[in-house]
Chain A
Amino acid sequence: MLDAATVTDRIEHILEAHQGMEGPLLPILHAVQAEFGHVPQSALPGIAKALNLSKAEVHGVVSFYHDFREAPAGRHVLKLCRAEACQAMGADRVAAHAQKALGIDWHGTTSNGAVTLEPVFCLGLCACGPAAMLDGKPIGRCDEARVDDLIAEARA
């Protein structure tokens, strides 16, 4: 678990690295999430103070963006594209298959903490859909069989 002192210490580092930047809040939040895997509540007061914002304002920003998590994800994050060009290639079917295989809905995490399933609206792979991304790695032509492979890879 993260203790408050560790968080404060690492947040100080991140804040220092972003000094002098114009509009630094999103880069800071990305850095915090890269560091902790999510944006911990305990990080907000330090960020708010450094940027002369209220804690509620920082929280408002964190909650606006789909990327920022307020709790850690599973060990692997599988994103499946739900947008139109992938729908035209059967993305809905593939998503239903993945949900069934993992036993979770969108935004859910398997009970063993291995996989979090997330929807994404376009990965720029619209001419080789259905598209997916596993831990940041892009995957094209992701049919049901490929999803099974990815799930096996993530569970291993």
Chain B
Amino acid sequence: MKIYIPLDTVAVALGADDIVAAIEVEAARRGVSVEIVRNGSHGMVWLEPLVEVVTPSGRTGFGPFTLADVPALFADLAAHPKALGPVADLPWMQGQTRLTFARVGIVDPLSLTEYEALGGLTGLRRALALPKADIVAEVTASGLRGRGGAGFPTGIKWKTVSEAVADRKYIVCNADEGDSATFADRMLMEGDPFTLIEGMVIAGLATGATKGFVYIRSEYPVAIRVMESACTVAQQAGVLGDSVLGTGPAFDIEIRVGAGAYVCGEETSLLNSLEGKRGVVRAKPPLPALEGFMGKPTVVNNVISLATIPVIFERGAEFYKDFGLGRSRGTIPLQIAGNVRFGGLYETAFGLTLGQIVDDIAGGCASGRPVKAVQVGGPLGAYHPRSDFATPFGYEEFAGQGGLIGHAGLTVFDDSADMLKQARFAMEFCAIESCGKCTPCRIGAVRGVETIDRIAKGDAAAIPLLTDLCNTMKAGSLCALGGFTPYPVMSALTHFPDDFAPMKEAAE
């Protein structure tokens, strides 16, 4: 009997390890031999732990699985109380276009053989036969833009590094994923680590870089473990090492662990951190593409940007580019979080409206109450009211609504949310995580908390002060931590003025 039980942090956080142990005990007691594979998560968090049993008709799912559901796994499976049928047939899976996440949940994350059987390394083999400039051109033609937040065209960044002349160049994968409501990087690294490795190797071929780093936040112990093991497997198989797949140049990868600083997700702060310094943001120029890690030309890309490279080379830039909307090409792994009935990872072409995502896919609030606000793009993203629900999911489209898509995380709040409190938190978070380099961010955020506290006490005169402060932070901050904190604050104030009304405290 072959059983899949995810090793993904989400499954573990909901009891997967205990279920593995219980299944082993129950199987031993019954004298049944079981083979348990720890796969990635399919992304349906409300069904985790999602156990799958291999049957003659394919993989059948059972979830959300509890210890009490173990004995019935050894009886008539069709009658199991948690039976879901084939996982691939569930509506959440059917609705998606899984390109970057095609193998996540399906593949055994550390089996390179299975990885190849499911199309892995096809893209790398193709890239190995191409000159550097053609690899870069393919990425540019795909329309891929950075998935870490800023949406910068990946091909252009690679071109700069490729054309720079230096004795050493680096590929740095940004796996700091500090934004609330985001977990796509984590799920990809835990569920299909070779895809990221393959993407980084192709980046190395394109630019002439021979060394890669994956900077993973320390809050992700499972991802760190899986990535380290995957690198060892890739080294043993010759995917990484002195000559990529025995014919290419050298490329190797080292896993590095962050130390609990949100700002280290900002690329220059991350480079300082990798070099062993305080994670203070660097002024640009120089661009990291020209003077990055140790002053050498460096590609800094998000996990999802790099992990999307293999499918672009496997299926072609045109294929990838045909998905999407406007200048947002391809697919985006939406991360649906907070107060939702159906939360998790949903990869789809750009262009669904916010309303389709929140009402249809997420099914509204878990609490059963009306949706009040959706924060899109993490802690630096705006709070959107229902009146923004017609906005299609795309970089320019959200910018047009005074917001941003960031790393594509969405946090849904029901009508019990207090938007003044959310605005206060945004300022508090900025104050805690500021790298300290600029005054508007370091001091402004502290003033922001105080000003919002005054508003909460009924001081209406503090409202214009808050607006001024936000303008100062926007204009005077070096990076988006100080510069974008005004998005959540001002959107809360603008769209939900009742929560900031002076009578608020008096009425309570």
List the interface of chain A (C-beta within 8 A of B): 22-27, 29-30, 51, 60-61, 64-68, 83-89, 120-129, 131, 133, 136-141
Q: Closest residue of chain B to A24, judged by CB?
A: B276
Main secondary structure of the interface of B (DSSP, over half): mixed
User: Chain A: which residue is nearest B215 at the CB level?
Assistant: A26
Q: Report yes or no: B178 in contact with A128, Cβ–Cβ below 8 A.
A: no
**Which B residues are in CB contact (< 8 Å) with A137?**
12
Give the contact stretch, choosing among B255-263, B309-317, B322-330, B384-392. B255-263
Tell me whether B13 and A128 are in contact (CB under 8 A).
Answer: yes
Q: Give the interface centre of A24, A124, A131 by most chain B CB atoms within 10 Å.
A: A124
A64 pairs with B180, CB closer than 8 A? no
Q: Given the complex, which residues of B lie within 8 Å of A84, measured CB to CB?
A: 180-181, 338, 375, 379, 411, 422, 425
Contact with A along B218-246 (1 / 0, CB 8 A): 11111000000000000000000000000
Decide if the interface of chain A is mainly helix, strand, loop or mixed: loop
Contact partners of A64 in chain B: CB under 8 A? 261, 278-280
Task: Check A65–B294 contact: CB distance below 8 A.
Answer: no
Among residues of A, the one whose C-beta sits closest to the C-beta of B428 is A82
Q: Which residues B336-380 have CB closer than 8 A to chain A?
A: 336-340, 343-344, 366, 375, 379
Given contact pairs A61-B277, A83-B180, A121-B429, A68 touches B221 in the complex (Cβ within 8 A): no
The docked-state distance in angstroms from the alpha carbon of A23 to that of B277 is 8
Q: Name B17's closest neighbour in chain A (CB-CB).
A: A137
Contact (Cβ within 8 A) B180 A127: no
> Which chain A positions have C-beta within 8 A of B186?
124
- Could you tell me the distance between the alpha carbons of A139 and B13 in the complex, rounded to whole angstroms? 4
Chain A residues with Cβ under 8 A from B9's Cβ? 123-125, 138
On chain A, the residues within 8 Å of B10 by CB distance are 124-125, 127-128, 140
Interface assignment of B438: CB less than 8 Å from any CB of chain A: no
Question: Hey, which chain A residues are within 8 Å of B46, CB to CB?
Answer: 127-128
Q: Tell whether A23 pairs with B259 under 8 Å between CB atoms, given A84-B411, A85-B338, A128-B343.
A: no
Is A127 a contact partner of B276 (Cβ separation < 8 A)? no
How near does chain A come to B281, taking the closest CB pair, in angstroms?
A: 12
Residue numbers of B with Cβ under 8 A of A are 9-10, 12-14, 45-46, 48, 177-183, 186, 211, 218-222, 256-262, 273-280, 293-294, 335-340, 343-344, 366, 375, 379, 409, 411-414, 417, 422, 425, 429, 432-433
Cβ of B186 to closest chain A Cβ, rounded Å: 4
Known: A67-B259, A89-B338. A125 touches B425 (CB 8 A): no
Please name the residue on chain A nearest to B279 by beta carbon. Answer: A64
By a CB distance below 8 angstroms, the chain B residues around A128 are: 10, 13-14, 45-46, 48, 343
Query: In the complex, A64 Cα to B12 Cα: how many Å?
Result: 31
CA distance A123 to B186 in the complex (A): 10
Question: Contacts A85-B338, A85-B411 hold; do A121 and B178 have CB atoms under 8 A apart?
Answer: yes
A128→B336 CA distance, assembly (Å): 10
Residues of chain A contacted by B12 (CB below 8 angstroms): 137-138
Sort A-B residue pairs by CB-CB distance and give the 5 closest, nearest first. A25-B276, A127-B343, A88-B338, A65-B259, A83-B180
Supposing A30-B257, A65-B261 touch, asked if A85 and B219 sit within 8 A by C-beta, the answer is no
With beta carbons under 8 angstroms apart, the residue of A22, A127, A129 that contacts B344 is A127
Whether B338 and A123, one on each chain, are in contact in the complex, defined by CB atoms closer than 8 angstroms, is no
Contact B261 A66 (CB under 8 A): yes
B339 touches A88 (CB 8 A): yes
In Å, the complex CA distance between A68 and B221 comes to 16
Contact for A26 among B262, B273, B379, B429, CB less than 8 A: B273
- Whether A23 touches B276, Cβ cut-off 8 Å, given contacts A85-B181, A89-B366, is yes
Asked, given contacts A128-B45, A128-B343, A139-B13, whether A68 binds B411 with beta carbons under 8 Å apart, the answer is no
Q: Give the docked Cα–Cα distance between A85 and B417 (Å).
A: 12
- Contact check, B183 vs A67: say whether CB atoms are below 8 A apart: no
Contacts of A67 in B (CB 8 A): 218, 258-260
Residues of B contacting A138 in the complex (Cβ-Cβ under 8 angstroms): 9, 12-13, 222
Q: Are A30 and B259 in contact (CB under 8 A)?
A: yes
Closest to A81 in B: B180
Shortest distance between the CB of A14 and any CB in chain B (Å)? 14
Q: What CA separation (Å) do A68 and B258 show in the bound complex?
A: 11
How distant is the Cα of A132 from the Cα of B379 in the complex, in angstroms?
19
Q: How far is the CA of A121 from the CA of B183 in the complex (A)?
A: 13
Q: Are B279 and A126 in contact (CB under 8 A)?
A: no
